[in-house]
Amino acid sequence: MPLVTLSDVLQPALKQGYAVGGLVTLGWEDMRAFVAAAEAEECPVILQAGPGCRAHTPLPVLGKMFRHLAEEASVPVVAHLDHGYTYDECAEALDAGFTSLMFDGSRKPLAENISDTRRIAEMAHAAGISCEGEIGFVGYSGGEASAGTDPAEAATFATETGVDAMAVSVGNVHLQQDRDGGLDVERIAAIEAVTDVPLVIHGGSGVPHAQRAQLARETSICKFNIGTELRMAFGAALREAVNSDPERFDRVTILKDTEGPVMAAARVVLRNLKGAGA
């Protein structure tokens, strides 16, 4: 099945009451496991290349990896640039075959964020692909603090940028390793009241599974980005693989042992989001 755009998978999710997993990739082993998980769950998946992934592997290589996996897959696959910070970076991803660009101007003043995001959205739409933007700032566990999304600003942002999906800050935090928190449902409702753009939750690993499922069913949240939760599963599997045989040194055989556990963890994530609608 060829790659699809972000809109191709989010619009059905919006209409039918489920969400799609934006799974953060770091290498071949996890991205292959994520596609296998989506096939097992018979649901679409969004493969995401964030800044850490791009620092390790060039965008043209990632584009070829994503496209190869999509062409062999039995389910829709989106190749998504996560947290693109410049026009040139987004343009490079487009040229590399990505089908969705997420431009992050959330640290900028509102007018500049709107202007820059609109430019990326126009570039994406001219090429027939999708664009995600961010309004409000999603902070980091143990690092930068969040700035919650203002509903009025979200309405302006959605209208003036023309984005296909809008990431919001509603109590979510990047890199959170536990799920003790929860999202601000009143703020989510206020944002939903003024825009019909599919909403995205970055830092989804910190959101309790039950709330993810409920929000996927009942709100306009159509995409949860999940990274930390799956990286923890990979790390645990890798430690077990290394420690199981101290004499083993072949990286291919060691890394192969991570795919089963990572696939199983991704299946739990995807199953939880797709609900009855998918």
Catalytic residues: 82
Cα atoms found within 13 Å of the Cα of residue 49, Cβ hemisphere only: 33
Pick the closest to residue 2 from 70, 69, 58 (CA basis). Answer: 70
- Report the sign of the C-alpha dihedral through residues 218, 220, 226, 228, in that order: negative
Pick the closest to residue 78 from 167, 9, 28, 163 (CA basis). Answer: 9
Q: Which residues pair with 165 in a beta bridge?
A: 132
**DSSP-derived secondary structure letter, 81:** E
CA diameter of the chain: 60
Q: Which two tokens stand for residue 90?
A: 């987004």
Tell me how far apart the alpha carbons of residues 62 and 87 are, in angstroms, rounded to a whole number.
Answer: 18
Using CB atoms within 10 A of its CB, is residue 2 exposed (0-12), middle (13-18) or buried (19+)? exposed
Pick the closest to residue 267 from 29, 43, 8, 7 (CA basis). Answer: 43
Give, in order, the Cα–Cα distances in Å from 185 to each of 61, 112, 127, 188.
39, 28, 35, 5
Q: Which residues pair with 158 in a beta bridge?
A: none
User: How many C-beta atoms surround the C-beta of residue 130 within 10 A?
Assistant: 26
Q: Which two tokens stand for residue 252?
A: 């291919």
